[in-house]
Structure 1
Amino acid sequence: MDFLLLTKSTTFIIGPIATVLGYIMEGIYNLGVHNIAACIILFTIIVNLILLPLTIKQQKFMKLNAVMQPEIAAIQKKYKGKQQDQAAMQKQNMEVQAVYQKYGTTPTGGCLQTVLQLPIMFALYQVIYRIPAYVSGIKEVLMNVVTPVMQQPGYIDKIAELATSNKLPIEKIDYSVADKMVDLFGKFNAAAWNQLKEIFPSLQNVISENSDKFLHMNSLFGGMNLTEAPGFKISVALIIPILAGLTQWLSVKTMNTAPTDPDAPGAGAMKSMNTVMPIMSVIFCISFPIGIGIYWVASSTVRMVMQLGINQYMKKINVDDMIKANIEKKNKKRQKKGLPPINANATIKSANKASEVAAKKKEMEEERAKKAAVNSTDYYKNKSENLGTIASRARMVQNYNEKKGKK
């Protein structure tokens, strides 16, 4: 697999965001942080701080949701088993919507922050996968070797053989393109660089000088190559996926501090996700390059530390104040549209009144149908005689015709 690609991402939305994040990464490098692992850690801290306002908004919605959920669960329980009853479902939706309006929010109130964060997260991965494309200083070090190597006779066959012996991808790499050569050299470990010196002995000094720089940039604890995946084998690199799983678990624990109703919708799925996510983190970081694993560990650690601070901040926020602020914000938007302001209590009352009217209407319709059936039975019962005679049968037909004639 190609994990470091010199070409920048051009994916819709994600590409431009990755370019902006790439400027941050290059800025960190230009400040003198010439180790990619250290750049990734600082990069992760900065990006999470940028996303902090969105995270706080999401936490506020979660706090409101914890208060709303018992009311919503009670409404859903009230209409349980009536999914086929259209009128009942309409009443349920009205009552649930009234609860959201009462608290000045919407069912999608917590989704916007998540939706905004997703493209940023995907763009982060692109920058880390393609670091030479976004950090010109790293590309320059590799180009110092690529340029003289490409001037050597028969270099393509020699490089292809070197890539094959080191189990590096060769099928889709055009070694006549400098950027592709940079991609390839970006995956080299110490052994591969030594082989390259043996293949081109006249370039030993150039290769040694620049490979030492690159290995220093692209290693963790002086030995782990950031472009290599730990794999399912015993090695020091396995500390990265283990830390990824542990920090993910601690991050989840710090986020889920409020007690949850086990009968609440989605509670079971959330509990399963809290267990599955740390396990998936371990598996992903075993399969992905160590550089991605470092980002995963750093991101979970930063979120955990930030969450501890957010938890203290949220304890000081009064739910009533949040509701008041939400309703005031909604009313300002409604005022601009020329709509009347929302009154939370009035909204609840109107929803309840609408439910009562709908229930009364249904009850009256059922009573009317029942009464009509009784009247019809009584009509024939009172006017019928002994049905065994021809006269009584004739009378029954006459009664039926009279009744039809009255309609």
Structure 2
Amino acid sequence: MDNQNKNLILATVLSFLVILVWYTVFAPSTPTVDPNAPEVATAPAEGGTPPAQPQDRPAVAAAAEAAPQAPRIAIDTPRLTGSLSLAGGRIDDLSLKDYKETLDPNSGLVRLLSPVGGTDPGEAQPYYAVYGWSPAGNLDGSAVPNARTLWTLDEGATLSPGQPVTLSWDNGAGLVFRRTISVDDNYLFTVAQSVENTGSAPVRLAPYGIVARHGLPASQHMWVLHEGVVGMTDGTLEEIAYGKMDDLPNVAREGGLAEVKDVATDGWIGFTDKYWMTALVPENGQAYTSVVKYIPGSEIYQTETRMPIMEVAPGATASIDTRLFAGAKEWETIRHYQNDVGIDRFVDSIDWGWFFFLTKPIFMLLHWLHGFIGNMGWSIILLTLIIKAIVFPLARKSYISMAKMKELQPEMEKLKERTGDDRAKFQQEMMALYKTNKVNPASGCLPIVLQIPIFFSLYKVIFVTLELRHAPWIGWIHDLSAPDPSSILNLFGLLPYATPDATSALHILSIGVLPILLGISMWLQQKLNPAPTDPAQAMIFTWMPWVFMFMLGRFASGLVLYWIANNTITFTQQYLIMTMHGHRPDIFGNIKSSLKRKKQEPAVEGKKK
């Protein structure tokens, strides 16, 4: 086996193994729901006196009990619709106007937040934000508002940009609490809390915010995708997956498993899904205590921001502003909140992955191209062309080296005849021949090696960034973040029956147009060189394009489109460079030769027997 074929086989097998592992571990799967799963239980009612604790860090009870029936205040913004309840002042009903669950025109809006104890049969699992005050000093729990407190609407009728609502509650013992909630044109709420002490003695208490969700959300459950707690504490990104929250320390005073961190300045914490997020965001420069909590049995996941204790003198008023992000993780929107509002490293709430140093610039370039072209599919193709142009100098050296190795084939044959069975001498003289002609036999692997991190990074971009969700290309490709919906099993829609779904064993055979084009592009790229004479090599080369076709067939259409474009550009580059160096690939001759070899193989096997 000559070194060129060795290198090509090595590169191909390496690429195949990487894709195989990637597909096995990371490939999208259809989430399943266990019909026998028990109903989610709720935590004990909030509102009693919290257990004794150090005075500088009052504990916060879980805001888990269903709130009593109470009036609701409508939320209506250009991008949000829903309501908040006067019971606890909870922000617990929120849908995203710009996003539907599916491509079906009759599909409902994406529901982000849902109340506890909903009566709608299709009600999502409870997911909400609630604010309040923890008692300190001589105060007990009855002196402060909790998640069941019935507030009074003082001002405003509908929460809209420029139209805040103000709530109040008088505890009847000298403390008057007020809460003003406002919202911008996108997804950022501002919650201004105050307490007025009309009594005769000073009081001590601490404001807090909670984001809680009950039960595991419907998600991809994929290792490549982070879903769970996400936050920034003093410049350090923190991520805790839902499945890892049962590893939190058991903190008795917190009533469950908890991680408690003091943050000196600037931070945020909440829950992230693939495309959506709800996060508590203290004011810039504000010190606070960040808490991640999990209540086993009740299956309640909770994040909190606890502000320092305030002492309010008689006749005085204490106030504090905090913020709540509840919406879609749109890159431009959260970058605006990061750069213009000052939320520290908010863009990192998008799961950029291990190759973030590639993923971020690739996404920014793709986003810019999309703004220029207006179509994500064509933007991916142009992105591929730009990436190939950037790595072309290295790829060019590789292709030139491969062309030179072709030119050295006659010399290699003479070496084989001269050295006979002396493999050591053959290897020594072969390396000397390469050195004399300035040929690097390992350079054939370089293009494949370069593609691997780029492939992973682009996969991450296509899989996790919202801008690819439901993004169309042409014809039948209506969602580049989903697999090609066409199928060879019904002749791409010509036959009047549906294709097998993901639960069927035949689903893997349901290959669409794009995967088939991928296999053809890889097959043609192989035909730039004659098939290896070694039967094992020939078999690998024969099956490799079609194995890739099936392995990548269920990947996002955008990623398959990138791979087709990449193969096509690579084919063109390699053909031109080899031609420029006096070796014009005989593509059709190589195809005929491989077909002829296949016909001869049975006869050869019969003679051997």
Normalising by structure 2, we get a TM-score of 0.32
Structure holding more strand per residue: 2
| Larger Cα-atom Rg | 1
Structure holding more helix per residue: 1
Whose RCO is larger (CA < 8 A, sep 6+)? 1
Normalising by structure 1, we get a TM-score of 0.46
